[in-house]
Amino acid sequence: MVVPTLRQKKRYVHLRFECPCNISENEAQAELYGALLSFLGELGFSRANPKLVEFNSTSKSGILKCSNAEIQNVKAALALVNRVKGENGCIRILKVSGSVSKLMD
C-alpha cells in the first residue's frame, strides 16, 4: 500500500471517437495507445501512464486515466489523431476531471 502523499496524481479524460466505423474496446485501446506512443515516445508514455478505464462501444466514448503532470501532452496527442481504423476520424476530448463520478455529471 502506498502512502496517499506518494500516490501519483491522476486525471480522468472523457473522450469520444468520431468516426464512421464501429470500434470495440480493444480497438479503441490500441488506437489510443498508438496515438500516445507515437506522439509522446516511450519515455513520455511511461510518464503519462495512460489506462483506458472504461469504454462504451455504442456511444464510442470512454474514460482514459493518466498522470496529472502530463495531462496537456496527453490532450495534444489525442487532438493530433486524424485517422481511426484507417478511416477519417478524430478523438474528441469532452471533459477532464480528477474523479470519474464528476465526469458522468
**Nearer CB in complex with another protein: 6/50:** 50
Q: Is 68 in the site for another protein (CB under 8 A)?
A: no
Q: Is 73 in the site for another protein (CB under 8 A)?
A: yes
Residue 43 is classified by DSSP as H
Q: Is 46 in the site for another protein (CB under 8 A)?
A: no
DSSP labels, 16-40 = EEE-SS---HHHHHHHHHHHHHHHH
**Nearer CB in complex with another protein: 1/72:** 72
Q: Is 79 in the site for another protein (CB under 8 A)?
A: yes
Among 75, 85, 97, 103, binds another protein (CB under 8 A): 75
User: Alpha-carbon distance 96 to 103, whole Å?
Assistant: 7
Q: Is 53 in the site for another protein (CB under 8 A)?
A: no
Place of cell 477532464: 96
Tell me the pairing of strands 90-97 and 61-67. Answer: unpaired
Among 22, 26, 56, 88, binds another protein (CB under 8 A): 88
User: Alpha-carbon distance 100 to 105, whole Å?
Assistant: 9
Place of cell 455529471: 105
Q: Is 16 in the site for another protein (CB under 8 A)?
A: no
Q: Is 92 in the site for another protein (CB under 8 A)?
A: yes
